[in-house]
Amino acid sequence: MLKNFLHLFRIPQWVKNSFVFVPLLFSLNLFHTDLLLTTFAAFGLFCLTSSIIYIINDINDIEADRAHPVKKFRPLAAGTITVKQAYISLILLGLPVLASLPFFRLKFTVILILFFLLNLFYSISFKHIVLLDIFSIAAGFMLRVVGGAYAIDVEISSWLILTTMFLSLFLASMKRYSELKLILKTVNTSTPTRKVLGDYSTRLAGQIATVSASAVIISYALYTVSQRTVNIFGNENLIFTTPFVVFGIFRYMYLVYINEEGENTTQIMMKDIPMISTLALYIAAAVIIIYDLLR
């Protein structure tokens, strides 16, 4: 039963909320204990809020999930957890979120509420509207970054926010591509399990992914050499982390196009050794360069 509830809460998906740590890292506050703890607390609230949204989504999509070759194993669709139990879970997750908000800045509270409303409307409506669905996902990641900045009261570069937006558009479009490929293999394409997939094609999803991938690389490269970045870090060495970003993008495209993976973004990030290694090396290189640890 515990395993079923952990599946319902989508614990592995919590890794997406790690974007709240981006402002902490790039504001030179990673080793500031108070701000680090505040960011962890903000991360926890985003995780609980995300789980609330996932439960609401699963309640609304029970029938559609039962027709999906992968999502039919979700607890509500499989019947291992009842709808009543799911509603009780919503209350239990919501209480600590509401109790914690008074301890945060008002701006952060507003961002968290916007994050909840955006994802609520996504679950109810936006995910059924072509293009608006992937832009809603991108907006969610941007709110995570902005929320992380407001939690510790620091500024965040516009280039970094743009990089986040294009990265999330890239991942969302690749997910749509993978879903379409999976449906082509398993069910009749005239009745897609996700309604909006009828408005996409593998060609369109692939082209959006290509444009978004290019924008990620360009935006990040411009961020590393922008005058604001150079002034804050005191050097131009962050540009040397760009190859990790490029390799990560290309590796992900390889996994989706050649290995036909990609429907579960988190699973790829947690199981593919080259992706894990690239992410670890990027973080290590960024920390060393930003904090000038080799001086």
> What tens digit of pLDDT does each residue of 50-65 get?
999 999 988 888 887 7
pLDDT for the residue numbered 61:
83
Mean pLDDT, residues 90-107: 95
Task: Provide the b/e sequence for 209-237 (b: ≥16 CB within 10 Å).
Answer: beebbebbbebbbebbebeebeebbeeeb
Does the structure show a pLDDT above 80 at 249? yes
Interval 127-174: pLDDT, tens: 889 999 999 999 999 999 999 999 999 999 999 999 999 999 999 999
Q: How far apart, in whole angstroms, are the C-alpha atoms of residue 100 and residue 112?
A: 12
What does the pLDDT read at residue 279?
94
Q: Residue 268 has what pLDDT?
A: 77
Distance CA 168, CA 212 (A): 9
What tokens does 80 get? 């291992």
DSSP assignment letter at 187: S
Contact at 8 Å (CB) between 53 and 116?
Answer: yes
Tokens representing residue 197 in the block: 């997939």
Residue 191 has pLDDT above 50, yes or no: no
- Average confidence (pLDDT) over 88-98: 95
Mean pLDDT (the chain) is 90
Kindly write down the DSSP assignment for every residue of 61-99, as one continuous string: THHHHHTSTTGGGSHHHHTSS-HHHHHHHHHHHHHHHHH
pLDDT on residue 283: 96
Range of weakest confidence among 191-195, 208-212, 238-242 = 191-195
Is it the case that residue 102 has pLDDT exceeding 70? yes
State the CATH architecture for 1-156: Orthogonal Bundle (1.10)
Q: Where do the structural domains in the chain lie, given as residue ranges?
A: 1-156, 157-295
Mean pLDDT of 235-250: 95
Predicted local distance difference test score (pLDDT) of residue 196: 81
Question: Is 259 buried (19+), middle (13-18) or exposed (0-12) by CB count in 10 A?
Answer: exposed
pLDDT of residue 194: 65
Residues 259-294 have pLDDT tens digits of 877 667 777 778 889 999 999 999 999 999 999 888
189 confidence band (pLDDT: 50, 70, 90):
very low
In degrees and rounded to multiples of 5, residue 69 shows phi and psi of -65, -25
State yes or no: pLDDT of 190 exceeds 60. no
Q: What is the largest CA-CA distance in the chain?
A: 61
Residue 141 contacts residue 165 (beta carbons within 8 Å): yes
Q: What is the pLDDT of residue 187?
A: 55
188: phi then psi, degrees, rounded to nearest 5: -70, 125
CB 278 within 8 A of CB 248: yes
